């Protein structure tokens, strides 16, 4: 995006103030909180309350339900601006919030009106209320992204039609907000005879549904203020109206995935910007060999490399975000490129940051190693780098690129 609208500029500024005044001081002053093994003890409620006050928690929720509805033609670009700003403060906090935005977009497009009337006010009225999107299973993830459109790759989680609704059995893993969300979108196989594009359905599942259990909170390497979880469904009955999309749910989820990839890349960029800002400050103040670090030429070279990588990520991200908002034909390819490229480049930026901090870069209380841990997560979230590259080539060469699986 070349220039920001008035709305975007104001939102970015209030978000930036919140991050500088509240989030970064909290993270710096409470670095041990990340390692609290009681997931609910990590992030104090005031942080989500603060996000609520500056109006960035309920982006994507329709205004009629009290949410913050953005200008439609630039919605994805605004998501990117805000996701980056929050991740500059803390990537896990950004994860927590963006799931609300992404799932809200899905619900406002797919959920029946009476369920929107029931759930959106709950999201709006409770600053701690979180949403989750459950696709990944112990025996299936990357094949769903490609996707391998053959029956043997179908989801193991199954939904079977019953009187007045559906009975779901199975389990999901690695789910963002999975440990503490109040409402889940769950994907399940509804037709084992066909490929997953024709036989996967999506359902709305409230946390209190009988047969629903949160099995564990995953202890992650980075983004630790977002509680990633695993859940089990045992003869879980959901009524007919909780079916969001029957059979073709993976195709309809594009509405979630395309802005989702942009948001991933934007959060990732925020981690890189934090790495750069902290390092720029360090090398202009820390003295070694009688001179501040930046006067040593090898240090200057690394700083130039960091800055160039971040600008390249930003340029691609802006182009891809605009393509998603414009519903351009190249949007699918570009948003995969942006997500993949950001994860690989910001990883290198984070490595420079740690190396330029020397021993301090490794010490937990100094706060720089956290950037590296947060950066590494992006290589795996929303598809691995390798699978993202396959998707790019499949999009560009649909007639000749490989299927990568299925019958010979
Ligand atoms: C922090 C975090 C948050 C997440 N949040 C969510 C969420 O909210 N919802 C959700 O549904 N999922 C979520 N995930 C899951 C994420 O999407 C998957 O981890 C990711 O898609 C990779 O799947 P996998 O872990 O099962 O790896 P696998 O699919 O088992 O892949 C293992 C390795 O095999 C490679 N591989 C697999 N297939 C191929 C192939 N055909 N060719 C070449 N290489 C291949 C992969 O690239 C990778 O290197 C999250 C993951 C993380 C880490």
How many whole angstroms separate alpha carbon 325 and alpha carbon 262? 11
Of the listed ranges 4-8, 188-192, 349-353, the least confidently predicted one is 4-8
Residue 212 forms beta bridges with which residues? Answer: 233
Nearest atom within ligand 1 for CA of residue 172:
11
Pairing of strands 212-218, 200-206: unpaired
Mean pLDDT in residue range 230-255:
94
Question: Is residue 143 predicted with pLDDT exceeding 80?
Answer: no
Residue 339 to residue 317: CA distance in whole angstroms: 8
Q: What is the pLDDT of residue 404?
A: 56
For residue 68, the 8-state DSSP code is B
The best mutation among 96, 135, 142 to test binding of ligand 1, ranked by most ligand atoms within 8 Å of the C-beta, falls on: 142
- Calculate helix-pair angle for 91-110, 369-377, nearest 10 degrees: 30
What percent of the chain is predicted at pLDDT more than 70?
98
Q: Taking CA 173 as the corner, what is the angle to CA 35 and CA 342, rounded to the nearest 5 degrees?
A: 70
Question: Does the beta carbon of 220 lie inside 6 Å of ligand 1?
Answer: yes
Report which ligand 1 atom has the smallest distance to the Cα of 404: 41
Give the nearest ligand 1 atom to 405 CA: 41
pLDDT above 80: residue 146? no
Q: Is the pLDDT of residue 348 over 60?
A: yes
Share of the chain above pLDDT 90, in %: 87
CA of 149 to the centre of ligand 1 (A): 17
Q: 245 in helix, strand or coil?
A: strand
Among 80-84, 128-132, 387-391, which is the least confidently predicted range? 387-391
- Among 2-11, 114-123, 125-134, 209-218, the minimum mean pLDDT is found in 2-11
How large is the greatest C-alpha to C-alpha distance in the chain, in angstroms? Answer: 78
Task: Name the 3-class secondary structure at 159.
Answer: strand
**Tokens read off for 84:** 């980056």
CA distance 269 to 320: 14
Contact 194, 155 (CB under 8 A): no
User: Per-residue pLDDT for 306 more than 70?
Assistant: yes
Distance 377 CA to ligand 1 centre (A): 11
- Give the predicted TM-score (pTM) of the model: 0.96
User: Which of 381, 391, 401 has most ligand 1 atoms within 8 Å of CB, for mutation?
Assistant: 381
Question: Which pLDDT score, from 0 to 100, does residue 256 have?
Answer: 83
Task: Express each pLDDT in 37-89 by its tens digit.
Answer: 999 999 999 999 999 999 999 999 999 999 988 999 999 999 999 999 999 99
* Mean predicted confidence (pLDDT) in 272-296: 96
Beta strand pairing call for 183-189 and 131-134: parallel
Residues paired with 184 in a beta bridge: 132, 205
Q: Is the pLDDT of residue 174 over 90?
A: yes
Kindly report which listed range (141-145, 224-228, 325-329, 380-384) carries the lowest average pLDDT score: 141-145
Q: Looking at the CA of residue 218, tell me the nearest atom of ligand 1.
A: 1
Specify the 3-state DSSP secondary structure of 155.
coil
Provide CB contacts within 8 A for 5, sequence distance 6+.
Answer: 71, 74
Mean pLDDT of the chain: 94
Which of 301, 160, 306, 166 has the alpha carbon at shortest distance from 243? 166
- Give pLDDT, residue 119: 97
Q: Which among 289, 309, 301, 312 has a CA at the least distance from the CA of 356?
A: 301
Which tokens go with 113? 């009106």
The pLDDT of residue 2 is 59
Q: Is the model's pLDDT at 179 over the cut of 90?
A: yes
> What confidence category does residue 141 fall into, taking pLDDT thresholds of 50, 70 and 90?
confident
Helices marked H in 233-368 — which ranges? 249-252, 254-283, 297-325, 331-356
| Residue 381 C-alpha from the chain's centroid | 7
DSSP state at residue 59? B
> What is the per-residue pLDDT for 1?
54
Q: How far is CA 168 from the centre of its chain?
A: 26
Q: Is the CB of 267 under 6 A from ligand 1?
A: no
Measuring CA to CA, which residue among 372, 374, 373, 378 is closest to residue 354?
Answer: 372
pLDDT of residue 346: 98
Q: What is the pLDDT of residue 142?
A: 76
Confidence band of 247 (pLDDT split at 50, 70, 90): very high
């Amino acid at each position: 995006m070349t220039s920001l609208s008035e709305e975007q500029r104001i939102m970015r500024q209030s978000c930036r103030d919140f991050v500088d005044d509240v989030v970064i001081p909290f993270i710096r002053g409470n670095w041990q909180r990340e390692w609290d093994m009681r997931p609910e003890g990590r992030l104090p409620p005031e942080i989500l309350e603060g996000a609520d006050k500056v109006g960035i928690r309920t982006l994507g929720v329709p205004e009629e339900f009290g949410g913050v509805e953005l200008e439609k033609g630039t919605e994805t670009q605004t998501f990117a601006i805000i996701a980056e700003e929050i991740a500059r403060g803390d990537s896990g906090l950004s994860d927590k919030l963006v799931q609300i935005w992404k799932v809200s977009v899905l619900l406002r497009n797919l959920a029946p009106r009476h369920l929107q009337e029931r759930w959106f006010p709950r999201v709006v009225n409770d600053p701690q209320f979180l949403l989750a999107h459950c696709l990944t299973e112990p025996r299936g993830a990357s094949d769903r992204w490609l996707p391998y459109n053959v029956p043997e790759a179908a989801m193991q989680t199954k939904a079977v039609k019953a009187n007045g609704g559906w009975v779901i059995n199975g389990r999901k893993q690695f789910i963002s907000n999975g440990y503490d969300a109040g409402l889940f979108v769950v994907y399940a196989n509804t037709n084992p005879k066909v490929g997953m594009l024709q036989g996967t359905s999506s359902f709305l599942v409230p946390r209190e549904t009988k047969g629903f259990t949160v099995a564990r909170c995953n202890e992650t390497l980075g983004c630790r203020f977002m509680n990633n979880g695993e859940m089990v469904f045992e003869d879980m009955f959901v009524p007919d109206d909780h079916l969001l999309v029957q059979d073709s749910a993976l195709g309809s989820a594009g509405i979630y995935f395309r802005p989702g990839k942009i948001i991933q890349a934007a959060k990732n960029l925020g981690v890189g910007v934090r790495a750069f800002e902290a390092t720029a400050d360090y090398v202009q103040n820390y003295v070694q060999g009688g001179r501040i670090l930046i006067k040593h030429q090898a240090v200057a070279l690394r700083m130039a490399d960091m800055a160039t990588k971040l600008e390249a990520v930003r340029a691609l991200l802006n182009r891809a975000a605009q393509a998603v908002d414009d519903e351009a034909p190249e949007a699918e390819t570009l948003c995969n490129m942006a997500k993949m490229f950001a994860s690989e480049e910001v990883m290198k930026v984070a490595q420079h940051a740690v190396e330029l901090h020397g021993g301090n870069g490794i010490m937990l209380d100094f706060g720089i190693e956290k950037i590296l841990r947060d950066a590494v997560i992006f290589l795996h979230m929303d598809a691995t780098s390798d699978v993202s590259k396959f998707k790019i080539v499949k999009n560009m060469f649909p007639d000749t690129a490989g299927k990568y699986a299925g019958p010979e």
